[in-house]
Amino acid sequence: MHFIKLNNLLVIALVSTSLLSSYAYPGFNFGWGGRNHGSRGGISYGLSPQFYQFSCPQANDIVMSVLEKAMAKNMRIAASLLRLHFHDCFVQGCDASILLDDSPAIVSEKNSGPNKNSIRGFEVIDEIKAKLEEECPQTVSCADILALAARGSTILSGGPNWELPLGRRDSRTASLIGSNNKIPPPNATIENLITFFKRQGLDEVDLVALSGAHTIGVARCATFKQRLYNQNGKNEADVSIERTFYFGLKTVCPRSGGDNNISPLDFGSPRMFDNTYFKFILQGRGLLNSDQVLLSGGVIKTQELVKKYAQDEALFFQQFAMSMIKLGNLRPITGFNGQVRKNCRRVN
């Protein structure tokens, strides 16, 4: 195991599970916190890494313990939990609205186009919440659980650690319309992606770094079929796909049917959080259109970043950590607003 310290961010390159609890624990203050005036530049006022220092000091240990067991059973769960946090924050901010089930007052975001039949990890969040409610009743919000689970999943996959500002509260509402309209689709062009991210106050650097989460996990055939058979409405393949990769994907994803067949987003090391994802993009082996256009879309900024992260894993880890903090700071509910749900699937 070795550590790299970059701009006050502790980056763990290889993590021993026996030491995870101590290194993943929220404890050191790098300047987050203060009054609730919103967020700017990755600093969110009203959130603090020490938020549960006295009210629930074992919160992160509980999250990590559940994650270790869940990932031992199913390594895909790490990517699922990262995606869950992302799909939550892009809709109404990081407020755990994605966890709400349908009810007389709620139309669940789980039924949106980007989420239906593909969003996963709810049972793991339920287990974490149940254990936290035993130890610290009505203290740790579901929104913070999502943020802690996303960080823990990254660490347990071999990725970076970061000091995570906490203190989010949970929404009483969900937005099916927002979930349908604000989450970037897998067939997005580079211009679309930049627009989707800028609406959230995230820039091209955040776009490329956060796309690097695709270094773990899988995607359904339905999300990349267009690239194989009808990229531009002319029944032709995407010319940016490397040919050997293209023929391999066709065996997984036929022209007709097979929509739920899966392929790794990073087939070189699909369980390891590393920079292989960017190396494959340079080879024309990005799985989703939204992956490959980071290089092929003609935007110099994103092209340069793909090349830099492919060459320098530590640089990617550093920026991923900073962009995850920025993502987690999107429009949090703080103070006496919102609530801390007893059950993440329904309002109190």
Task: Report d(CA 236, CA 230) in Å as an integer.
Answer: 5
Query: For helices 76-92 and 313-328, what crossing angle results, to 10°?
Result: 50
91 is in an annotated binding site: yes
101 is in an annotated binding site: no
Task: Report d(CA 334, CA 331) in Å as an integer.
Answer: 9
DSSP secondary structure of 87-105: HHHHHHSSSSGGGPPPBTT
Task: Report d(CA 110, CA 118) in Å as an integer.
Answer: 9
Q: Which one from 2, 37, 85, 87 is the annotated catalytic residue?
A: 87
Q: What angle (nearest 5°) sits at the alpha carbon of residue 289, between those of residues 175 and 217?
A: 70
95 is in an annotated binding site: yes
184 is in an annotated binding site: yes
163 is in an annotated binding site: no
Nearest Cα residue to 173 out of 236, 268, 105, 272:
105
214 is in an annotated binding site: yes
Q: Answer positive or negative: Cα dihedral of 294, 299, 305, 310.
A: positive
Do strands 43-45 and 38-40 pair parallel, antiparallel, or not at all (unpaired)? antiparallel
87 is an active site residue? yes
What's the longest Cα–Cα distance across the chain? 61
68 is in an annotated binding site: no
What tokens does 279 get? 């190396």
Count other Cβ atoms within 10 Å, centred on residue 339.
16
What is the number of alpha carbons within 13 Å of residue 242 lying toward its C-beta? Answer: 13
Task: Report d(CA 160, CA 82) in Å as an integer.
Answer: 13
206 is in an annotated binding site: no
332 is in an annotated binding site: no
Q: Are 339 and 138 in contact (CB under 8 A)?
A: no
93 is in an annotated binding site: yes
Q: What DSSP state is assigned to residue 267?
A: S
In the chain, the amino acid numbered 282 is L
203 is in an annotated binding site: no
Q: Which residues are annotated as a binding site?
A: 88, 91, 93, 95, 97, 109, 184, 214-215, 266, 274
- The binding site for Ca(2+) consists of 88, 91, 93, 95, 97, 109, 215, 266, 274
What residues form the annotated binding site for substrate? Answer: 184
Binding positions for heme b: 214
Q: Which residues are catalytic?
A: 87
